[in-house]
A and B are shown apart, each in its own frame.
Chain A
Amino acid sequence: MLHQYKTAGMNIVLDTCSGSVHVVDEAAYDVIGLYQQHTEEEIIRILMDRYPEGIADPQSPTGRSALTEEDIRECLDDVRTLEKEGKLFTPDTYEQSAHVFKERSGSVIKALCLHVAHTCNLNCSYCFASQGKYHGERSVMSYEVGKQALDFLVGHSGSRHNLEVDFFGGEPLMNWDVVKRLVLYARSIEKEHHKNFRFTLTTNGLLIDDDVIDFCNREMSNVVLSLDGRKEIHDRYRVDYAGNGSWEKVVPKFQEFVRRRGDKSYYMRGTFTHANPDFVKDIRCMLDLGFTELSMEPVVTAPDDPEALTAEDLAIVKQQYEELADLMRQRRREGRPFTFYHYMIDLSGGPCIYKRISGCGSGTEYMAVTPWGDLYPCHQFVGEESFRLGDIWNGITNLPRQEEFRSCNVYSRPECADCWAKLWCSGGCAANAFHASGTIRGIYEPGCELFRKRIECAIALEAEKQLS
């Protein structure tokens, strides 16, 4: 399975099943496109007819260079060589092993999203967690529940060394003392169990103070700081219960937090909605504020919500992803690079095929824990009672539901079968698929469309880096 596309003056060919990426000239781009459907002689005739004036060549003074029959035969030889080397037209042979990874993992759990606070000091209408309550009662996690969750994680982590715990909400800083105590407890047990805890915290910033900054910068491997960009955009949704915007309050706190964080990981994470499909303006705002590690996510909401992205918005967003890539090129040239979460891609050191097939691990190696100790496949399923998997005292009791997640992978989603991006997204987000289609084996097509665009841009940026 191949995907060919043109962007930023490059012709790019992706070979889905080998993971190979080729940057080619105009002639090779067409040869590869014609290779499987036409004979050698047909390909030569088609290209000679198509390029009587030669092909685009930025190195040539005229901008074009001649294309001869011999050139095309030579190019065909190269394509055949790459095919033999398993770098082009690689057959899809992974389906048979699609279950292996999750079966091999057995019942190992290695990551928990701890919902330490089902309450929030902001009242954002677009919140997928219904202002932190997850459609339930306001609640905070006790230390005892959190401690049991950590023991549950260690007890179910098998031989996994790296364990991830995300403090999430609602607003986790509304239960800050418990967060600190849980981190200290985890640190006290990791050595005896040969584990390494990696903590992350996601916050709206209102309660950040010196203690939070110092503790997080010491203990949290990553912090996710919620900022939507421009003040008028941020304050449109991120308001307190009196309706006051939070931008003025949180930005100085975030700046101080990041300044003192040094080289430790953080992300400014924003959400864009129908109000700002032109989200690159918000990226620019974050850059102007001094932030360089950025993430902007499309809103996840019901299609009839006023915040939802429309079909027209999606077209704008796709253009914005291109504009964002251009902005990254420009800043890279100027020696002022920045990171965009979805454009981070490591072509040579990225995930293995098992990870690419099996996805995020929701419901198997990754679960969310509610303030009262219930287990759900991930934070986005909390509040969907039929998705409750069990609890941290009795373990997984809803075995059929867990089996549904265990057997879910990119090959169990029929609509992914012919998608070139399937080994980059692993079939996408189970929660988004469920909310859009009624089944975790469905897809959320608008999300797919944006994902494919992001991957095209990310690969192009990486290609430029490698080739320079």
Chain B
Amino acid sequence: MKRIQTLETRNLCESAKNGGCGECQTSCQSACKTSCGIANQQCEKKEDK
């Protein structure tokens, strides 16, 4: 597309079908401890994304 560049992102709708294994890190266990953001958590189920 001439005017639109679409980044490579995880398709959230698709992840509804194969996500939810619960193995990923709990947010506050890393470096924040006083706020919540799950955006920087890595998915542990790499083979099925």
Contact = CB atoms under 8 A, between A and B. Distances in A.
Interface stretch (A97-105, A142-150, A179-187, A278-286): A97-105
Interface residues of A, number: 94
Interface of A is mostly: mixed
A113 B43 CA distance: 21
Interface string B32-49: 111111111111111001
Given A24-B3, A350-B43, A161 B20 contact: no
Interface string A436-457: 0000000000010001001100
Given A349-B49, A360-B28, A110 B3 contact: no
Given A346-B40, A355-B24, A19 B10 contact: yes
A342 interface: yes
B31 A429 contact: no
Contacts of B16: 94, 97, 352-354
Nearest to A265: B30
Contacts of B42: 346, 349-351
B27 A297 contact: no
A74 B2 contact: yes
B26 A360 contact: yes
Nearest to A29: B3
A22 B4 contact: yes
Contacts of B24: 351, 355
A428 B34 CA distance: 10
Interface of A: 17-25, 27-28, 71, 74-75, 78-79, 81-82, 86-87, 90, 93-94, 97, 100-101, 104-105, 108, 110-111, 113, 128, 160-162, 164, 166, 168, 198, 200, 202, 222, 224, 267, 269, 271, 295, 297-300, 341-342, 344-356, 359-362, 365-366, 378-380, 423-430, 432, 447, 451, 454-455, 458, 462-463, 466-467
Interface of B: 1-13, 15-16, 18-20, 22-46, 49
14 contacts: A28-B4, A78-B1, A79-B4, A86-B11, A110-B26, A162-B25, A300-B35, A345-B39, A348-B9, A352-B49, A353-B19, A454-B37, A463-B7, A467-B5
